Structure formats: C-alpha cells, structure tokens
Amino acid sequence: MLAARALVVVLASSMLSACGAESPTAPADLPRAEAMIASSHAATPCQDFRATGTTMGISPNAFQGQASVQIGDGDAVVATVTTTLTGSVKQGTLARGAQVVTTSHSFDFGGGDTFVTEDIARLVPTQTPGVFKLLSTLHIVSGTGAFAHVASNPNPRIVGHAQTSVMNLSVLPPVATWSLDTRICGYHG
C-alpha cells in the first residue's frame, strides 16, 4: 500500500511538471495533498492557448468585446470578453506617465464554458497622445464547463504581447486591442 501511494505522488509530480514548467509555483513547492488534488483534475495535457481580441469601453469601469481563441490544434472560436476595472488607477513612473490598473477578464465561450482572470495592467504612453502600450499579466482564478478545472492547475501567468496590445483612450468609446500566447492546463474541451 505504501509503495502504491509513493507511485501516485511520483506520477502526480510528473504530471504537474509537464504542465507547470513555467508556473511561478513549482510542483515541488506544492504540499503533496494539493499536488494530488491538482493532478486529479489534469486529465488532459497542457495545450497552447492563443487569443486576439478587441474590447470597447461600455462604462467608466468596463470594456466589452470579442476575442478569437485557439486552444491546442482546435479551430479558432469566438469568445465574448468583458474587462472590469477592479481597483483604482495608480500613477506609475511620473516621468513616463505610466499607469497601473487591476482588472478582471471574463471569457464566455457560450454553452456554459467560461473562465475569469485577475490581472495587473500597465499603460505606458507611446509617441501618439492618448495611445498606450497595454502590458497585461493575467492569472486564471475560476472557470466553468470545459474550463472548470483550469484554475486548480498550475497554469503559467498569461502575459499579453507588448508589440500588439494597445489601449487607445483618444477615441470614444476607448478601445483596447490585444493578443496573447500561452499554455493552458486542465482544459477539457
């Protein structure tokens, strides 16, 4: 019985290592009980996750739009994306005019398949007045349907592309365009 338990822990650690190499919490840092729970939800391997989206301001604290999302080798699908400002805007480096905001993104794929992130975004001024580079880091905190077990897996933080992610506050309503490329673990699509 003890040998069987040791094998389960070794297998759980191996599965977590396969999914969590980029994770800020390495599998060795997880308590064994948490590692076993996380591995029980990791029935599918980690997969590539790519998204490109555009959202527009719908209120002073929210943006809404759509994203084209591709997971693994599957076809691209459209998700409705709602971004909510969850904290105050903080002035960053005064000489550069950067701002830091906390946000949350809700991705809704229809049919009960959703996930929600918590994010930190830096808005860095460009040469064009009112246009900012959008430097976002997202972390999946919950999900439903095919994404129900994603938050319980050691997923890497999602970092948006600095070259293609832009916040344009010079137009009404304001528009954010963004893209990201990462891996997702625990998705059952």
Digit-coded pLDDT (tens) for 165-176: 999 999 999 999
Q: What is the pLDDT of residues 141-151, one digit of tens each?
A: 999 999 999 99
State residue 17's pLDDT score: 33
Q: What is the mean pLDDT of residues 20-43?
A: 40
Asked whether the predicted pLDDT for residue 9 surpasses 50, the reply is no
| Residue 66 CB contacts under 8 Å (≥ 6 apart), including other chains | 53, 54, 78, 79, 80, 81
State residue 96's pLDDT score: 64
Q: Among all chains, which residue has been given the structure tokens 């527009």?
A: 56
What is the largest distance, in Å, between two alpha-carbon atoms of the chain?
67
pTM: 0.74
Asked whether the predicted pLDDT for residue 93 surpasses 50, the reply is yes
Asked whether the predicted pLDDT for residue 3 surpasses 90, the reply is no
Q: Which two tokens stand for residue 117?
A: 């992130």
Single-letter amino acid, residue 33: A
